Amino acid sequence: MKEQLSFAGYGLRSPRRPDIQTRNVSPLRTIYRLRSGLPPAEHLQDLTTGAEALLARSRSLFDTGNDTVRWMQVTGDYGQGKSHTLTLLKELAQQQNYATCYLSCDGSASALNHPQRFLPVLVSTLTVPGHTNNGYQDLLFELLGNRESAEALNKIVHRRVSGSHTLAAALRWHLAQLLQAHRTISDDRARHTQAVVLTLSGQSIRHRSGAPPMRRFAYELLQVTVDVVTSLGGNGLVLLVDELESIYTKLPNSRSRHGAYRVLAALCESPVFTHCRIVLAVTSDASRWLAASAPTMQPQPGDLDSEPVRRWADRIEADLPAVACPRLDRRGRAHLLHRIREFYLNSYPRVRERWNDEAWKRFADDLLARAVPVRLIMRETIDFLDSLRYAGA
């Protein structure tokens, strides 16, 4: 049972009803992203089709009573909609009262074999339902600015951060000094607050080695993040990890790949992350490679108890929890075109007044006759609808 700490008025708030201006701007932001070839960040359910299996699995994953399988894979070829699907799952997770973080592991600064490096990148994207904070640091500054909230955070840190190394000791000391400064209204509050935020957000460890003590500390800091979210009233934290194929395309050798395996094992199978849910987006080829590699994943010297590589590999071998991005046939693509068109026309009602059925039919037939990735279907459809709007300008 998760513990509820008093954060002095910073409990999870119901999202505010958007005002008229927000409701008008939000669809235009979505269209702008589609126009730029980017996956939409809002209105995902209005722009998704054929995802019934995915939605059923996600409901099971986000079930707070489910502690059996806390992770899943989303597989698909390049351009088939994995990033779109992750954003859809982010929207669904927040509707289920989960905070979310996103990480693209396509890059050395966020490679999965170095949790001390990717942690600050990951938590910088923290989104908490009902809060307007811009990432984890913003939330920490807000909490530490209030004495009662700072005391609640101090309890979480003392429960989770057990190491005796310099960084852990310094974190506890700065928190103690900050609480004392709150009592005496000292000018040192800003300095101690800055030090605490830099450590809890992972900035203080991003250039440290990946030795076991530092990996353990990175996991403890992530546990603090999860506890902060649940103490605010949330059900937990959903980690959305994109570009998982980078394990095979970017990491140079078997040693670094094992480093990624043990980190994934910790996130997906360690009991310390009970209130975490993990979604991994990966290409179909890399997913098959991961399954083929599972029999050879064995514990190695330096693995932590919280990195159960063999248990994670057994899970993959027994029943790989994966859902494929929907492969849309012609009918499914036509349905997607219809949904994009209706979303656009609802956003720009004047285009409907000069609608040309013949021009739309010619465009749709031509697009559906080509094997175009889903992302390009969206982009070309927006381009066509833009041309109608510009013609009547």
Contact 232, 130 (CB under 8 A): no
For position 84, what pLDDT does the model report? 74
pLDDT given at position 339: 83
| The pLDDT of residue 68 | 73
User: Burial, 198: exposed, middle or buried (Cβ in 10 Å; 0-12, 13-18, 19+)?
Assistant: middle
The predicted pLDDT at position 155 comes to: 95
In this structure, whether the domain defined by 66-141+198-324 belongs to CATH 3.90.1200 is answered with no
The residue type of 181 is A
CB neighbours of 203 closer than 8 A, spacing ≥ 6? 120
CA 136 – CA 138 distance, rounded (Å): 5
DSSP string, 360-391: HHHHHHHHHTS---HHHHHHHHHHHHHHHHHH
Domain ranges of the chain: 27-50+329-393, 66-141+198-324
Which residues of the chain are under the pLDDT cut of 50? 1-4, 8, 10-23, 50, 393
The identity of residue 112, as a single letter, is L
Q: Interhelix angle for 166-184 vs 189-200, to 10°?
A: 140
Beta-strand pair 236-242/98-104: parallel
pTM of the complete model: 0.77
- DSSP letter at 354 equals T
Question: What pLDDT sits at residue 323?
Answer: 74
Q: Which helix (H) or strand (E) holds 74?
A: strand 71-75
pLDDT at position 300: 93
